[in-house]
Amino acid sequence: MEIILAIVVASAVIFFGALISMGNERQRRAIDNLREQTVLWAMQDLRIKRERLARDVRVDDPLSWLNSLVTKLCGYDLNLQVKEAFDEPRALVCVTRDGTGKFVFSPLSPTEIRQMNRNRHSRLSQYGDRHPLLSLPRQFTAHEFSVLNSNIVFDLELPLAWQGLTHQETLQMEQLWMYNLT
């Protein structure tokens, strides 16, 4: 009798455990589905907002646009002034108004710049090249600007601002790197 009672209790525990496990699995799938629907809704909401904003994208003053980006990063206004623009590889050299800081802006990432430096064949080419990206120090500070840390239409404004600052035609730029040379 005790053996039968123990078997009944053990099978009841196993049965209820299986029911709870199935319920948990159903809840997990429902939560995953809800999360997936929320992500899709957020992406669609961003698409709608971007489409509405994309119609009106203009960069009237590219230098103040660039200064506002750097101000958000640094926490204070550097009053950048354009010093020089380079074609290949694309780069924009800016200095602070008081002349204490020098910054290079480029769509090239630090990895791409290091790869370009490795691909240079002749040691004499470093004396002929006065390009600021090719003469970066070994340890440099780089900051990335993108849609994630700037604004929702950054990738639409960047080509307009770049063309206004450098007078270079650009197709599409999605990120901008700032290299501090001071």
Give the chain's mean pLDDT: 82
Q: Is 82 exposed, middle or buried (0-12, 13-18, 19+ CB in 10 A)?
A: middle
Tell me the helix, strand and coil percentages in the chain, rounded to 5.
Answer: 50, 15, 35
In percent, the amount of the chain with pLDDT more than 90 equals 3
**How much is the pTM?**
0.68
**What is the maximal distance between C-alpha atoms in the chain?**
98
93-123 residue pLDDT tens: 898 888 788 888 988 888 888 787 776 644 4
Task: Say which residues have a Cβ less than 8 Å from residue 156's Cβ, sequence separation at least 6.
Answer: 53, 54, 57
Residue 113 tokens read as 């710049």
Please state whether beta strands 176-180 and 102-106 pair in parallel, antiparallel, or not at all (unpaired): antiparallel
* Ranges of each domain in the chain: 1-56, 62-180
- For residues 141 and 171, which has the higher predicted lDDT (pLDDT)? 141
Coil, strand or helix at 180: strand
Least confident of 39-53, 60-74, 112-126, 139-153: 112-126
Q: What is the pLDDT of residue 33?
A: 92
Displacement of CA 71 from its chain's centroid (Å): 17
Task: Say which residues have a Cβ less than 8 Å from residue 142's Cβ, sequence separation at least 6.
Answer: 109, 110, 177, 178, 179, 180
